[in-house]
Chains A and B, each alone.
Chain A
Amino acid sequence: MKSNANISDELLNAFVDNELETNEKSEILDVIGRDDALKGRVCELRGLKEMVKHAYHHPPMHEAAAENVMRLRRPQYVQNIRRIAACVLLLLLGGVSGWFIATKSESRNHSYVAYVSRAAHNINSATGQGNIIFQVSTSNPLRLKAVLDEAESLLEASRHENRQLNVEIMANAEGVDLLRADVSPYGKRIGLMQAKYPNLGFLACGQAIRTLRSSGIAVHLLPNTGVASSAAEEINKRLQQGWDYARI
């Protein structure tokens, strides 16, 4: 029989978190019935648990959080196209291939997540084009150099292989420094790369620019640099278009 003394704090925590087997739970409940001190310890732990839960029940929302809810949703027309395509396919296949569809869709249902991944990455595989978006979020010069090196080596390799490769470099947070005319350590190199590779694009995150401006910093971007409303939105868009994504 257990007593207050041989009930460890860890065991009591497990009791409060409902992690114990029925017999262990019964033993502790027996002791609680006889021992007010143990009852006090349990009440204290439950109180702490409730306080933590309560403290984060309504965490403060960041301004961008509401926008973010929409970021992962694709435009309505894309959803409609998929539904229309589904209707057309249904008509075509009809009853003749009903059994086949049933089997196929059942197996797909189990691995629909794999389908999601394929849909997200291989949409453009038929065209033979390659697309990749790089994200850089830090102003660390080594990382800024790495993203340029990586993009350049891929573009150079694809040029040799006579393949078309579209590369986008998305700079957000502190990474925006890469594209700031007065700050970037690679302004000249970026200009040369833009002239050499027409399929290379540079985008700065609009949110990061707004943050800099709101703290009184004047932001001047390098020539031929685009601005996306937000990095996450641009990356989501590209992922949905089947682009590959790499974060440096």
Chain B
Amino acid sequence: MKIFSLFCGVDAFQQQLEQIRPKLYRVAFSWSHNAALADDLVQETMIKALKNAAQLRDPALMNSWLFSILANCWRDHFRQHRDMDDIEELEDHRCIHETTPEDEHAQTQIVDRVRNAVAMLPMGQRQVLTLVDLEDFPYIEVAAILSIPIGTVMSRLCRARQSLKILLKELAPQQTARVSHIRRVI
């Protein structure tokens, strides 16, 4: 029955792509913190994967191959929109500082606090941190996905976690001092 798999090869490939889509989206969102942009990036990644399927020699490497396409799409996005910025050092403070009352309320919650802290990390550190923590990629694969030396992966990860620790403390909701008043009732 192998002939069926021969004819259904395209479907098998697409099914694999669909299975990996949520992982790609999660990482794309953690990089961009913008649902619409993350969705566009993932869709573009899928299109490029279909188009360049022949470049994938070993199907076992599909996961990291797709994430390297995603990393390239993300890099291209910045080249198109911010020609003068260096993606490695880019910090997008915008999403942090444009706060509304709703945002401020949301920031008291741990998820939003962590996302905000991650969003404040320089892009290079953010990419390494999310690939390691969200997708459990070994350092060697992160190095291949982002085309950087493994030593850089380790140092960026180290700096990312150090900064994250500090940022999470800074973003923690301030405890209002509770003053107890003793009132005379008699």
Contact = CB atoms under 8 A, between A and B. Distances in A.
B53 A120 contact: yes
B39 A86 contact: no
A59 B30 contact: yes
A55 B162 contact: no
Contacts of B54: 113-114, 116-118
A101 interface: yes
Interface string B152-166: 001101100110110
A112 B9 contact: yes
Nearest to A112: B9
Nearest to A101: B3
Interface of B: 2-14, 17-18, 21, 25-26, 29-30, 35-36, 38-40, 42-44, 46-47, 50-54, 56-57, 59, 80, 110-111, 114-115, 118, 129-130, 132-134, 138-139, 154-155, 157-158, 161-162, 164-165, 168
Give the residue among B5, B42, B53, B129 with the most A Cβ atoms within 10 A: B53
27 contacts: A9-B158, A9-B161, A13-B154, A17-B132, A19-B138, A48-B161, A48-B168, A52-B133, A52-B164, A54-B111, A55-B118, A59-B25, A60-B29, A62-B36, A64-B36, A72-B18, A79-B8, A86-B3, A101-B3, A105-B3, A112-B5, A113-B59, A114-B54, A117-B52, A117-B54, A232-B46, A232-B47
Nearest to B11: A79
Contacts, number: 168
Contact of B26 (A56, A102, A115, A236): A56
- State the main secondary structure of chain A at its contact with B: helix
Contacts of B114: 51-52, 54-55
Contacts of B38: 59, 62
A188 B60 CA distance: 51
B80 A10 contact: no
A10 B12 CA distance: 40
Given A68-B43, A113-B56, A138 B12 contact: no
Interface string A80-93: 00110110011000
B158 A239 contact: no
Interface of A: 9-10, 13-14, 17, 19, 44-45, 48-49, 51-56, 59-62, 64-65, 68-69, 71-74, 79, 82-83, 85-86, 89-90, 101-102, 105-106, 108-109, 112-120, 137-138, 173, 232, 235-236, 239, 245
B51 A119 contact: no
Nearest to A60: B35
A101 B43 CA distance: 36
